[in-house]
Each structure stands twice: as structure tokens, then as C-alpha cells.
Chains A and B, each alone.
Chain A
């Protein structure tokens, strides 16, 4: 590198333009950060050793010594003796091969599982399309409605010659995605309204919003879910039967709404008062001002905490297991209750973790890109 500088622009000017060689590059970085003293050198070496050992150990367990399949007996039951022998030395991925459909789709009728599979793909497609700014127009709402309608038809069936599948048989990834997607899709607009309401000049609206946020935030999600599943039916008139999934969904929306409202309110508060005054002075109505000036700026400011909350709630969908819904994580547990596989929980949880990480990492990565994208225009 130093010679390219020298040929391009020799002498004093070149020396001034770049830091002297030896202060840049990976070696210089390592020397400055990892080996700056005998003490830090020692820590670096110990850490490198520990990390390498862990890595080698994992690779040996997950790949080198792993068992990928097991023999089945005449009754179709797996014989997991090989796995039992390899326990602690190698992973038993055979359990995943045996149980992945149960984990992903729950007790949904086996021959019909192509339907939830398509639904999962539709959900992912919906996320991808919604993520592209190119599609951010009114038509997107129609795409959502249409896709969700198709998902509903596929899951329930009962029309177009599809076998009817009641919700009690749903489970696995579709349940997780349904709860997360509907939950956040409804909770987010709700939270915006509540955040605006908390700053309302009308005392009644303000009080209502404050009460809602404080009450919901004051109790654990689990108890909200319990209330929704146990107490809520008591308040309903006789004969009205709101099903369990819908009740959990509503509880989830209310809960996420309260948290998101506080995040949104943070963004509203961060906006200088002048923005609102300028909009007022121009004669914009409250909703015009809010929709065109306040929210676009406020939401942009809170993308990181907003996505943080989204990710948190995506994972919190797993709490529905306590009211007897079978989401992805719960299905993992169910799969493990099968006697031959009982001792292979690590393998199942590793796979579940990878699935959760894929979704959460995608959200996080996307939000960072979006933030940069939106802020590019308004750099100072």
C-alpha cells in the first residue's frame, strides 16, 4: 500500500494524506486492540483457545460424530439405540428427520400439510413484499388482505373441495406466524393511536390511553393470556363463543399495543414543537398534520426500538403454550414427549433456535437498512 501512495504522489503531500504505514491494516489493528500489552496478549490467547475449543467441539458434535438416520422396526417405530450410544459425542439429527413435520405443522392432518406449508411461504412472501419500499403504496393493503384471505381459506378449508380443518388441529410455525403477523399488524396502528391519544388535549381520551398503557404494562403477558382464555368467556353473553386462538390473538394485540405505544410516544416527543406549529400555521387539519408531518418523522426516529419490540413479541408468541395453543416451540416439546426421542432435546432446540434466529435476524438486518435508507435524505 505504501508504494502505491509513493508512486501516485511522492514526498511530503503523500505522507500527509495517509497515516504512516504500520498504523493501518489488520495487523496494526490487531496490535492495537489485541496485543497492546503482555496482559491483553494473555487474555487474547486464552480467549482464542476457549473459542477454538468450543468451535471444534461443536463441529465434532454437530457434524463429524452426528447420526443422521436411525433404523425403523416393523411397526414403523424408530430404533434409537445408535443415538443413545452416541449421546454426548454426536448429535442425533434423526429426530429432526422423524419429527420435522410435527414440529412445523403440529397436528394438522398429515396429507393436508402442504396447506400450512404454502401459508408459511405466503407469510414470508408477504414480509418480503412489504419490506420493499417500491411497494409502499395503497395497493399494499389490498395485497395484505388478499394474502391473508388466501391463508385463511387454506388453513380452515371447507371450501373449494378442501377438507375442513378446525383450529384445534393447527400448530407449529403457522400458529407462530399468525400470532406474530396479526398481532403486530394490528398492535402497531393501535399503538400509534394510543400514543397520539396520550398527547390529546381531550382529558377523557388522554386518561383512557394512559390507563390502558399503564394497566397492560403492569401485568405479565402470561396473565393477560390467562385472562383472555379463562376470564374473557365469563363476560361474554351466553352462546357467543370466541375461539381460543382469536382470544389469544386479541390479548397479544392489546399487550403489544401498549408497549409499542410507549415507543411511538418517544418518537412523538423527540420531534421539535416547531414542526407541529408550522403545520398548524399552514392550516393543515389535525389528521393531515399527524399523517403528513408528525408520524413520518416520529416513526423514523424510533425504528430501532420499534424493531426491538417487534423481535421481542415475535418470540413472546411462544407463551401461548400456557393456554393450550401449539406454537412452534410447544410443538418442539410435543415432539420430545415421544418416548424413543425423549432424551434428544438439544437437537430440537438447536433447530428451533435457528428458525427463530432466521426471522429475528431478518427483521433486525432489514431495520438497519431501512434506517440508513430513510436517513440518507436528511443528513445535515
Chain B
């Protein structure tokens, strides 16, 4: 269904290949106890590139994307974000978290704060922005995700689709250079998926560097420069959406695609 909705032409864009890469993962390994969840994951994301990550459940997609802003720590290999290496150094972490925005499957809005307060919190406390300026900024992003009239409400009073758009606006208020999405539409009712994807397409059009875990193939076709397929902690195959979906090389991707298509 969502595939039909996004059968439009791909969003035009230009990847800046001369600039230093936005994200570099170099042979990243991670274990949970004895479970090896990331195996030699290597990937480079250029400035303004849009990467869609897909793969079966439990394949390590969330873990990988969460390593990029260090919500999880990796044990081997190197991760560089905008040239800064992720280590235990707190200052580096601080810099990176300011530059990387994240949108979660479960929205994770703060239920005790209004929509506007959700959006102004980080600019005021992390960027030390004056309150009035932060509110103005928040309103401009809330307008961009088309919910400025809900600013005084609390998250619990909004629909799932609206909450996820607020979450996107909230992340944007920090003016990040990179946006990470972890299955942003998976917790939504079908009729709300489109409004969130439309917001993300708008963001892609503005030239944002994006790494997005999603199974929305229509979205991947329209927006992604590259699709990365993960399985059992490894990057199995990657390429343009067209090549990946029409001419999968590995059996694992073929199997995955057949399951996804049957599911839809």
C-alpha cells in the first residue's frame, strides 16, 4: 500500500562527495555478553547522502544506528561522525550529540512537557538559546511538520502520527547535520504512516544527511541514495534502491524481499 503511495519520481539531490564523509564505520564489532550483534560492520555515509537500512528483525539495525550517536558503545573498530571519533571522551560525545538528531520507533516524547516545551528543551539547555528565540525556532519547525496549532498540547493528546512528527521537529530544533531514524513508522497505524514519511521526504529534499532504518520500500525507492541490507549483524549487500530491489544478488536479500512483499 505504501509502495503505491510513493511510486513518484525519486527526490532530486546531489551528494557532496568532495566533503569529508558524514559518518564512517570501520570494522565495527559489538557483543551483548557473548552474543555477537555487529560483525565487522563497515559503511561510509557522505554529506547529504540518504541511506536506508533494512533487514530482518534482530539483525542489528537498531544497534548499529544507536552506535552512531553512542546510545550503545561498540567494542571494536572505529566510528567517526563528521570527522570526530567516538570514544569515551565526553567532549567528543557532546559535540556529536549536538550534531546528530535521532527519531525513535516509540517517539519518546516527554509526556510531562507540552509539545512546544519538548521542542525548546534541548535548544535552551544544550545550545543555551534564549527562550523566546528557541520558541520561535520550535514554532517554525512545528509549522514545517504541519502541527503548529498543537504547540500547547501534551504528547498524550496527539495521534501517533502527530507525535512522531513532533519528534522529528524536536530533533530538528537542535539544527543537526545528521538525522538518524530507527523504524519511525513501525509503531504507527497505516493511515498515519504517510504523513510521517511525507515529513521525512521533505527533510530529504532539504539536503539533510539521513540514515534511516525502515521497511518502507516506497520511501526507500523515492529518497534513498543507497540501501544497506543487514542480516545477523553483518552488512550483507548494499546498492541503489533500484538495483537492490530489482536485482538482489544474495539469497538472504532475496528471501528478505520476498517476505517483505508478502507482508505488504
Contacts and interface: CB of A to CB of B under 8 A. Distances in A.
A124 B252 CA distance: 71
B121 A277 contact: no
Interface stretch (B23-31, B100-108, B204-212): B100-108
Nearest to B66: A277
Interface string A142-186: 000000000000000000000000000000000000000000000
A274 B122 contact: no
Contact of B110 (A283, A288, A293): A293
Nearest to A296: B112
Interface in A284-298: 284, 288, 292-293, 296-297
For the side of the interface on B, what is the size category?
20 to 34
Contact of A281 (B97, B111, B125): B97
Nearest to B97: A283
B71 A280 contact: yes
A283 B174 contact: yes
Nearest to B125: A288
Given A283-B122, A284-B125, A293-B110, A380 B156 contact: yes
Given A277-B71, A278-B110, A283-B94, A292 B154 contact: no
Given A274-B106, A380-B156, A282 B112 contact: no
B71 A282 contact: no
Contacts, number: 63
A219 interface: no
Nearest to B155: A378
B129 interface: no
Contact of B104 (A274, A283, A296, A380): A274
B34 to A, nearest CB: 21
Nearest to B98: A283
A282 B126 contact: yes
A297 B112 CA distance: 7
A87 interface: no
B114 to A, nearest CB: 8
B102 A281 contact: yes
Contact of B126 (A272, A274, A275, A284): A284
Contacts of B101: 281
A234 B105 CA distance: 59
Contact of A282 (B97, B155, B156): B97
Given A277-B71, A378-B156, A380-B156, A282 B104 contact: no
B69 interface: yes
B177 to A, nearest CB: 13
A333 B120 CA distance: 58
A123 to B, nearest CB: 30
Contact of B112 (A272, A377, A380): A377
B104 A278 contact: yes
B108 A282 contact: no
Given A280-B71, A282-B122, A282-B126, A274 B108 contact: yes
Interface residues of A, number: 21
A43 B139 CA distance: 64
Contacts of A377: 112, 154, 156
B110 A275 contact: yes
Interface in A254-276: 272, 274-275
A379 B157 CA distance: 7
B156 A379 contact: yes
Contacts of A281: 69, 71, 97, 100-102, 171
Nearest to B95: A283
A264 to B, nearest CB: 16
A372 to B, nearest CB: 15
A290 to B, nearest CB: 12
B143 to A, nearest CB: 21
A378 B154 CA distance: 6
A292 B154 CA distance: 16
Contacts of B154: 377-378
A277 B170 CA distance: 14
A99 interface: no
A292 B117 CA distance: 11
Interface string A300-320: 100000000000000000000
A299 to B, nearest CB: 10
Contacts of A288: 125-126
Contacts of A277: 71, 104, 108
A297 B97 contact: no
A136 to B, nearest CB: 14
Contacts of A297: 110-112
B112 A378 contact: yes
Contact of A292 (B71, B104, B125, B174): B125
28 contacts: A272-B106, A277-B104, A277-B108, A278-B102, A278-B109, A281-B69, A281-B71, A281-B97, A282-B97, A282-B121, A283-B122, A283-B126, A284-B121, A284-B122, A284-B125, A284-B126, A292-B125, A293-B110, A296-B112, A297-B110, A297-B111, A377-B154, A378-B111, A378-B112, A378-B154, A378-B155, A379-B157, A380-B156
- For the complex of A and B, 3 pairs with smallest distance between CB atoms: A283-B97, A278-B108, A274-B108
Given A278-B108, A278-B109, A282-B126, 10 more contacts: A274-B108, A275-B108, A275-B110, A277-B104, A283-B98, A283-B126, A296-B112, A297-B110, A377-B156, A378-B155
Interface of A: 272, 274-275, 277-284, 288, 292-293, 296-297, 300, 377-380
Interface of B: 69, 71, 94, 97-98, 100-102, 104, 106, 108-112, 121-122, 125-126, 154-157, 170-171, 174
